[in-house]
Chains A and B, each alone.
Chain A
Amino acid sequence: MTQVPVTVLTGYLGAGKTTLLNHILTENHGRKYAVVINEFGELGVDNDIVVGADEEIFEMNNGCICCTVRGDLIRIIGGLMKRPGKLDGIIVETTGMADPGPVAQTFYQDDDIRARTRLDAIVTVVDAHHFLLHVDDSDEAREQVAFADVVLLNKTDLVTPAELATVERRLRQINPYAKLHHTRRSALASTEILDRGAFDLKRILEVEPDFLESDHDHEHDQSVGSLSLTSDAPIDEQKFQRWISTILREFGTDIFRSKGILDIGGAPNKYVFQGVHMLMDGDWGNPWKDGETRSSKLVFIGRKLDAEQLRRGFEACAVR
């Protein structure tokens, strides 16, 4: 069964989400998208399907406290799948105040949705002019950036170069890993937004070829930030699985995104994993190449990350 890619579009009210949607839909003549929006805005759509959503957030009754899903999205995607003809993609716009967690978790939790669609990327539009005004007192503004695979730093024409640099530094404190674009009026080629494969374990290595080598300069945000852990010692698979599932179970509410490439002792292939809150996926990726330096790296983006505890825990996963 071919899976339809789903792009989640977040950002504060007025940041430029609707403008971006209009660009995507008018640029891609001949392709067919379904767009799930919260209010019927001014979308120039002829060939495409626009569905209004209610943002109904439901707790899963499975003992996992942070496990919430979007009940309306399950119904809407179920309905869209009944239409004849293949969709090239589904774009889900969230309201300005939405936490992206429940949307992302829906794609892990619902069997029908998992079978017929795949979460492609979380794209966040940030208003360069207003971001610093609300980032410090809005959990949502920080979470939207923390969850993002792609960030459009929009309305760059409304700020000075110095202001832009300040905004970018603040964004990078929260999420140093997202692909960042400077835009005006949300103008960006849709290839930078759609079909990114950000949740595809097989593509993590292709999309971020320097994942293992690169090290971002961390300036830690007190509340929401990122943490990267590296190890040159091979990892014991069982120890790691035990540790990561404990960490995500205990701290999953505060860990928004996690991603990693591991050198499992004795294994010819890289082990790749990624997660959203408590939910995670892991699988074997490409083999290590001849002469390639084997090493492991984990990144976490979240709230109140205990760097010391995570580092000690990860180090204890090394093969002895």
Chain B
Amino acid sequence: MTAPSFAQRLPPRRRIDTGAWVSGLTYDRAGRRLGAACGDGRVWRIDVADEAPPTPPEPAHKGVAMAIVADPAGGGFISGGDDGQLLRHDEAPHEVETFKGRWLERLAAHAQSGTFAVAIGKEIVVYGPSGRRLLGPHPSTVTDIDFSPDGSRLVATHYGGVTIHVLKPADAAPRKLEWRGSHVAVRYSPDAKFIATGTQDNALHVWRLATGKDMQMSGYPVKVKQLAWSHDARFLFSTATSLFTGWPFAGKGPEGKPPIQFGDEGAGIMTAIAAHPVDSFIAAGFDTGEVQVGDSKTRRSAVIKLAGDGQVSALAWSPGGWNLAVGTDQGVVELIDLRR
């Protein structure tokens, strides 16, 4: 009877059944509330300290709530939907802007500069303290966006590579880095030395920004939809693998070196991944519904959510890293308390 005693060792959690695909999760800047964007258009704001079951909100979007970020200019959230609406959620949701007939699937926010951005087809709209700015058009639909750690740049992925927009100074020309194929995810390294993409061709692609030199890590069994750099920029992890697989970027970089690998075979294929904000942990969710937390320092991992509830579709760490939120395609949200 090992399973029941094992289950009892799992950290405490709250479980909320939203009833619809969890397409995005994020904590607000203070870590007091969890925002969950769902397939039925609802944007849940779940009080982290309040143990009572939350009341389901009215749908904020007419179709799918596709993306959510913490509002960098306030205490709430910003969400985007397939109804073309960009919404700000303080107490009640209200419109930032509506893009008729467009899907708002990708958002990014930079807290220190009070800036956020939304991809609208081939273009990007950036909202900051100095106003609204349009970037693009890009060669194809923008598939993901990310701010540089200092907020001075915004990188966009599209077919054929990435475009780095310079936000400060505003008149500098964008920089293009090319690699054939369709890129579907992008993340700046926390030290701003690299840009990594996940591709439709079951690979990672990484550019070293100082030289523009690039590298390709291929052979993943499925396309790479999410990326996570460890907080210290030493390792790059991704989904589309059954073991935690981290490419080493410390020192001279990963050329000619194998990745570190750890975890349990048999948990499934990773479908969501998120790096701890201040420590060497990485959370990974699987297509079986299992969630593991791995440590890139000790190269060990532990199961913190058992399989079930569909595929893990979203993961989010609280700002201090004491709480982890898990969302699945069957609508389950778990808030896991890692302090105890």
Contact = CB atoms under 8 A, between A and B. Distances in A.
Given A60-B200, A61-B199, A71-B140, A110 B223 contact: yes
17 contacts: A56-B140, A58-B182, A59-B181, A69-B182, A69-B200, A71-B140, A71-B141, A71-B159, A72-B141, A75-B105, A82-B23, A82-B64, A82-B329, A83-B40, A84-B19, A84-B40, A112-B223
A79 B19 contact: no
Contacts of A74: 200
Contacts, number: 69
B200 A110 contact: yes
A58 B182 CA distance: 7
The interface centre, meaning the residue of A54, A60, A84 with most chain B CB atoms within 10 A of its CB, is A84
A265 interface: no
Contacts of B256: none
A111 B223 contact: yes
Interface in B216-258: 222-223
B181 A60 contact: yes
Contacts of A72: 141
Contacts of A14: none
B201 A62 contact: yes
Contacts of A79: 64, 66, 82, 103, 105
6 pairs of A and B residues whose beta carbons are closest in the complex? A61-B181, A82-B39, A82-B21, A61-B201, A111-B222, A58-B182
A52 interface: yes
A54 B66 CA distance: 19
B301 interface: no
B41 to A, nearest CB: 9
B129 interface: no
Interface residues of A, number: 24
A83 B101 contact: no
A56 B141 contact: yes
B260 interface: no
Interface of B: 19-21, 23, 39-40, 63-64, 66, 82, 101, 103, 105, 121, 140-141, 143, 159, 180-182, 199-201, 203, 222-223, 329
Contacts of B223: 110-112
Contacts of A76: 103
B162 to A, nearest CB: 15
A251 B23 CA distance: 41
A61 B203 CA distance: 10
Interface in A13-43: 40
A98 B83 CA distance: 27
Nearest to B181: A61
A229 B129 CA distance: 69
A72 B140 CA distance: 9
Given A71-B141, A82-B64, A83-B64, A56 B159 contact: yes
Contacts of B20: 82, 84
Given A59-B181, A61-B201, A71-B182, A52 B141 contact: no
A75 B200 contact: no
Contacts of A49: 63
A138 to B, nearest CB: 26
B60 to A, nearest CB: 15
Nearest to B223: A111
B224 to A, nearest CB: 11
A111 B101 CA distance: 27
A83 B63 contact: yes
Given A61-B180, A71-B140, 13 more contacts: A56-B140, A59-B180, A60-B182, A60-B201, A61-B200, A61-B201, A71-B200, A72-B141, A75-B105, A79-B64, A79-B105, A81-B21, A82-B329
Interface string A50-70: 001010101111100000010
A234 to B, nearest CB: 35
Contacts of B21: 81-84
Nearest to B37: A82
A60 B200 CA distance: 8
A40 B101 contact: yes
A209 B21 CA distance: 41
Given A60-B181, A61-B180, A75-B141, A82 B199 contact: no
B241 to A, nearest CB: 13
Contacts of B140: 56, 58, 71
Nearest to B40: A84
A112 B23 CA distance: 15
Interface in A184-209: none
Nearest to A72: B141
Contacts of A81: 21
A83 B21 CA distance: 7
A84 B39 contact: yes
Contact of B101 (A52, A60, A75): A52
Contacts of A82: 20-21, 23, 39, 64, 66, 329
